[in-house]
Amino acid sequence: MRPRRIRKTPEAARNDFWRSTIALDKRSAKSFIRINDRIRAREIRVIDENGEQMGILAPFEALKIARERGLDLVEVSPNAAPPVCRIQDYGRFLYEKDKSERAARKKQKVIVVKEVKFSVTVDEHDYQTKKNQAVKFLAGGDKVKASLRFRGRQMAHRDLGYNIINRLIQDIGENGIVEFMPRMEGTILHAILAPSKKQEAPKPKPPAPPAPPAAPVQPVQ
């Protein structure tokens, strides 16, 4: 007995079609790069696989040369006049492009804002612990939000809170710079500190090698 075929609705069939189309051309759709028959310009500037200029050609002429060499025609500068295309392996091109983008993302430093909370009644030991945390965060390249919440009648003594936050700024010193001075938002006093950009001291130049001794002058007889 044959299994019963399930008929799909027109909407489900359309969804399957678009899924398959996206899956087949996912890499091209991701990068928005025109290759081979998709290049629509009337004329293009062509560079071969060795980086040599081949001049301005019609796309079909350049594509014929690329296929004879077992390579692709890839549009690398679509906004140029005329667009610049290169004869190369498209798969290798995408691999190198993804590799360079991953390397660039690794070099990017993601700055995180880390919060250090104080209270008006903070004792000396707790203050020193949180100050050291703030210095550690700044040394690691993160920003620090120093916050202090006033509770109930403490709002009448806001000067005590300002004293604590200002003391923290002074104690951090050269380890950070103040991005936002202490300010009130509702019942919370806070300030933002950012890592300081210290300039590296120039490396001392190595001493010059000593000059060779002069040859002795023999007297003329």
Kindly indicate the confidence band of residue 162, based on its pLDDT and cuts at 50, 70 and 90: very high
Query: Helices 158-172 and 124-139: crossing angle, nearest 10°?
Result: 50
**pLDDT value for 43:** 93
- If one compares 45 and 20, the residue with the highest pLDDT of the two is 45
Confidence of residue 200 (pLDDT cuts 50, 70, 90): very low
Summarised one tens digit per residue, pLDDT across range 42-85 is 999 999 998 899 999 999 999 999 999 999 999 989 888 899 99
| Closest-CA residue to 66 (of 96, 44, 81) | 44
Predicted local distance difference test score (pLDDT) of residue 32: 78
Q: How confident is the model at residue 201 (pLDDT cuts 50, 70, 90)?
A: very low
**Alpha-carbon span 55 to 123, nearest angstrom:** 76
Residues 186-210 have a mean pLDDT of 71
Q: What per-residue confidence (pLDDT) applies to 56?
A: 93
Proportion of the chain above pLDDT 70, given as a percent = 75
Cβ neighbours, 10 Å, residue 116? 19
